[in-house]
Amino acid sequence: MIQLCNLNRLYKELEPNLTRMADLSLKSGRVMLGEFTQEFEERIARVAGADHAVVVGSGSDALYYGLVASGIKGPVALPSQTFIATENSIYRAGLNPVCVDVKPNGLLDWDTVPHGIDRVVWVGLFGNTETIPTDVMVIEDGAQHFGAPLQGKLAAYSFDPTKALPNFGNGGAVVTNDKRIADRVRDLRRHGHHERHVGGNSIMSERDCAELLVKLEHFPFWQERRQEIAYDYTMQLGNYVDIVTDCDGLVSKFVIGTEHRGALADHLYVSGIETKSVYQKPIWNLPGACNNCNRHLALPCDPYTTDQELLHIIRSVKEFFQELPLAS
Residues of the chain with pLDDT > 70, as a percent, come to 97
The answer for residues whose C-beta is within 8 angstroms of residue 213's C-beta and 6 or more apart is 21, 36, 39, 40, 43
105-125 pLDDT, tens per residue? 999 999 999 999 999 999 999
Partners of 176 in beta bridges: 52, 154
Q: CB under 8 Å, gap of 24 or more: what pairs does 200-203 form?
A: 200/61, 201/57, 202/56, 202/57, 202/58, 202/61, 202/65, 203/32, 203/33, 203/55, 203/56, 203/57
Start-end of CATH 3.40.640.10 domains in the chain: 7-213
Chain region(s) in the chain for CATH 3.90.1150.10: 219-327
> What distances in angstroms separate CA 103 from CA 56, 208, 255, 325, one per listed residue?
31, 36, 14, 29
How wide is the angle at C-alpha 42 spanned by C-alphas 39 and 46, nearest 5°?
140
Residues 156, 59: Cα–Cα separation, whole Å: 6
Calculate the CA 213 to chain-centre distance: 18
CATH number for the domain formed by residue range(s) 219-327: 3.90.1150.10
Nearest to 176 by CA among 138, 136, 213: 138
Q: Write out pLDDT tens, residues 204-249.
A: 999 999 999 999 999 999 999 999 999 999 999 999 999 999 999 8
Tens of pLDDT along 52-83? Answer: 999 999 999 999 999 999 999 999 999 999 99
Residue 138 contacts residue 152 (beta carbons within 8 Å): yes
Q: Which residue has the higher pLDDT, 196 or 320?
A: 320
Q: Provide the edge-to-edge strand list for the sheet that holds 52-56.
A: 52-56, 172-176, 154-158, 137-141, 119-123, 75-79, 96-100
Residue 48 confidence class, pLDDT cut points 50, 70, 90:
very high
Q: Does residue 256 have a pLDDT over 50? A: yes
User: pLDDT above 90 covers what percent of the chain?
Assistant: 91
Output the pLDDT for position 328.
Answer: 45
| Cβ neighbours, 10 Å, residue 236 | 16
Architecture of domain 7-213: 3-Layer(aba) Sandwich (3.40)
pTM of the model: 0.94
Whether residue 30 is predicted with pLDDT greater than 80 in this model: the reply is yes
- Tell me the mean pLDDT in the region 295-301: 98
Q: How confident is the model at residue 199 (pLDDT cuts 50, 70, 90)?
A: confident
Position 326 pLDDT exceeds 90: no
Q: Name the residue among 35, 58, 34, 63 with its Cα closest to residue 175.
A: 63
Residue 252 confidence class, pLDDT cut points 50, 70, 90: very high
Q: How far apart are CA 160 and CA 174, in angstroms?
A: 14
Asked if 257 and 242 touch (Cβ cutoff 8 Å), the reply is: yes
- Which three-class secondary structure state does DSSP give residue 76? strand
| pLDDT tens column, 153-194 | 999 999 999 999 999 999 999 999 999 999 999 999 998 766
What is the rounded CA–CA span in Å between residue 157 and residue 70? 16
